[in-house]
Copies of this chain bind each other. A is one copy, B any other.
């Protein structure tokens, strides 16, 4: 019944005029009782609907308020106005749903991002968030297309897990036990055999370990699903619930891994530039306007589109962790004691250090490899021939301007004895992880993979600065609305 409507994006893209169409959407503005800017979410560009004098009675005209929903039948005609090639000459307008202008929280003016976060259920109806979430969609689709075209298998790794060996961060408990009075064992401990899964379970922090099980059968898999951190971090870069993309490749070393990650990031950006030109142009302008409010010294050197083009056209810088430390030690920032945290071989680089490397020194994305084993996860491959006390692993992090770590990856330790030794040293439950070690027991292969934080990628492409603005409904400490 409603299928005969045409979407506004499609209508504006076609060159045809003179025919009759049906459109539906929400009123953005209504000027002079004559010009309705109608939007249906398919594009930020509104369709101008022209209401001729006498078409509607006064009663109806009054109901055409911001966010009222309309069905309009009319003729597509060339527009005499500037800014649009065509407009719709209304022959009939039906009001599908009213919107009380006094009560509607989104007025046709600029609202702060903070305010819009509080009405996240309505912010989709603004130009900024329309653009952001259409771009987010494109980046998600491009992710699937990139890996599908390469023959990777999309693996849905589990969200609920009993494994707690990944050490990626604090976890949320998942339970059906009555929390006010859980069953107890004789010694008083909570009896998790009575829980839904018969044991203590959590929300996953990564699908990697299960991903490795897939890669050692299908050669190449990827995951793309929600992951969780129960860390009390109230920052502009952290979410308790976020989406992560984790490819895992058999017959792959750290070099191949870096190449794939770089190719992937550049592919995503190019895809958005090809498919979301209007949305990116809008956000580019938005960012330029924001920048103008800042003092000269704090302004970005590049605009959004300029930055995106730059990243797709230039190779990422590749340096070792040791080189990174030496650059930091040599830096004016270090010498003038501008860093809050000390620099020395062995440190887990802080955000300020990463930003210095990326934003000041190289001014482009940087891939850092060969991190100290002591600060990295158990599954990363030990590099051969290290100086004693300076053992490194085949890890790689990609740092992006304005974002920090956007990718973390490694070649995995495929040698059973070395892996078992590392797990024992780190007090990990070797027995419980026997399923994982089976991949090393039965036809082990060199393999590697990485995780890309999807929201950080969306931040990078949209030029937004708070991660809560690029996920539909953010989950952060003390915040779980909608």
- List 9 additional A-B contacts (Cβ < 8 Å) besides A67-B443, A125-B217, A210-B482: A7-B219, A26-B443, A97-B414, A134-B218, A141-B144, A158-B482, A160-B480, A174-B174, A175-B179
Please give, as numbers and ranges, the residues of chain B lying within 8 Å of A96 by CB-CB distance. 443-446
Q: Mark A249-288, 1 if CB is under 8 A from B, else 0.
A: 0111101100100000000000000000000000000000
Determine whether the beta carbon of B2 is less than 8 Å from that of A252.
yes
Interface size on A, residues (CB 8 A): 111
**Known A-B contacts A213-B124, A240-B196, A443-B27; A151 and B67 likewise in contact (beta carbons under 8 Å):** no
List 26 A-B residue pairs with CB atoms under 8 Å apart, sorted by A's residue number: A1-B255, A2-B256, A2-B446, A3-B256, A24-B251, A24-B445, A25-B219, A40-B219, A67-B443, A99-B442, A99-B443, A103-B441, A122-B438, A124-B214, A137-B155, A158-B241, A159-B226, A160-B480, A162-B480, A162-B481, A172-B175, A174-B203, A196-B230, A196-B478, A197-B480, A435-B482
Which chain B residues lie closer than 8 Å to A163 at the CB level? 482
Taking a contact as CB atoms under 8 Å apart, the answer to whether B477 and A197 are in contact is: yes
Whether the Cβ atoms of B445 and A97 lie closer than 8 Å is yes
List the interface of chain A (C-beta within 8 A of B): 1-3, 5, 7, 9-10, 24-27, 40-42, 67-69, 71, 96-100, 103-104, 121-122, 124-125, 130, 133-134, 136-137, 140-141, 144, 148, 151, 153-163, 170, 172-177, 179-180, 182, 189-190, 196-199, 201, 203, 210, 213-214, 217-219, 225-226, 228, 230, 232, 240-241, 243, 250-253, 255-256, 259, 414, 435-436, 438-446, 471-473, 475, 477-482
